[in-house]
Structure 1
């Protein structure tokens, strides 16, 4: 099973019974023929684990940075299987490989009207690179392309040609912190519910946890960030609390949005945190510690405190009680 580098390192410490399961330089010979990967790997982005401490066959997710500055996550096997070595450095970065694909320009017909301008380049910017975007088809200005006019229809059963997806951009405002660290994010949205503020104030009256943190640093991107913004963070317990309701129109946290909640919870748990969702409006629990309640009350707060004790232990949680 593929896992983040910090979880993989802890598991190897436990299985081998050593604080340093693999010595620095143990796998130097295996990585020596991949100088591009040696340059793209940074221990400070991988919890201090040096590349020569990682077996080439390890199923572990490592963070890499190409020469242009694109950050991406890949396993050792994925990186070593990319072709090219020193011949083309772009092949060692998925985003650079997409941008380096040849651009096809349209061939203008011989009877192209002189008054109609030739399609111009459109520039797209991704990360630190600026490259020409794929040009539009040769359609005169003001005309609308039709699937019936011109071109040849694909044969029955033939796969459809789809345009390549635009390269993914990751917000650079997230600080370089170890994964699982909580911090105050400049990208975090403002609280959207007065109930969240009420719940946060009630927890502050009962426990002396660190306040003001709004984000958790992740191992891999979640949409366009490498951070997530739970409603309430308890850094000392490494527990995130979410308040879920169906909203004014009954569409919040249902359907596809509930799938996003599940994905967010998996990302938080992957960096060593636990999630407690307070689900109202008859929303079903989606996690092992979720609470199905009718609203925020003294009974809800008591259940939440008992859940925190169940997750982290009564002695540890009560040490922060006021």
Structure 2
């Protein structure tokens, strides 16, 4: 891949829109990334099938994003056969990550998927023991879905700390010194842990505070937020995202907010209880904790949170640190 899509466009290599007919490859049309400037605003009909020098962006229905030249999707081996994993998926524009998720061999001790495409079978193969990464960590050091403390110093913000303090007065949040990550299946970027902003380990709920940042380019369509949430849900966690600055809501429990306000905190707590009501373990937790509240009680809770926060500021209490 010699060029990015933008470099290719700047060189004037593209054909007029509609020049190349891709109607015979619906999966490529569907997976062509159209969001933002990923493919420099070009249409697939401007690219010919033998193009091999540009790493185009593709996104599958599950949100996995990858780069790949067009011609590689039609590559065949010396016997004239299409790549076996693409044949299993039934399309030229298939996603490797989806193929591994559906047909990949899994290790029985840690549940991780082998990245070896040669091991893909319609009935997934079960491999004995731990994967190489888990062996390196030690058999007792890695449990899928476990909240863990990993040495990591990501950036944080004052707004995130404000929201943490307000939520921490009500929700069972872990401090950054207790747990700052969750063990997950390997992500597309090779990570074995993801780092939500806030963790409630006892109920397996992660809370994220997302803002577009000073350059207004964070948490956009090309971010890994979708995959991070998917990785957490695969190991039994649910995610609540507070989306600020007109960021699109991407999950069933997301909250649109203008900042870490008391109204945002109350909305997160409300969604937290909606998460708990969605599962058997959660109903048990609610029945024993007596945390069900009416809408009037939520309004009062928001006022109480605001008062607690102002008291903390007036007394000179420091905001607790937060992880990314």
TM-score by length of 2: 0.46
Bigger relative contact order, structure 1 or 2 (CA pairs below 8 A, ≥6 apart)? 2
Q: Which has the higher helix share?
A: 2
TM-score by length of 1: 0.46
Q: Which has the higher strand share?
A: 1
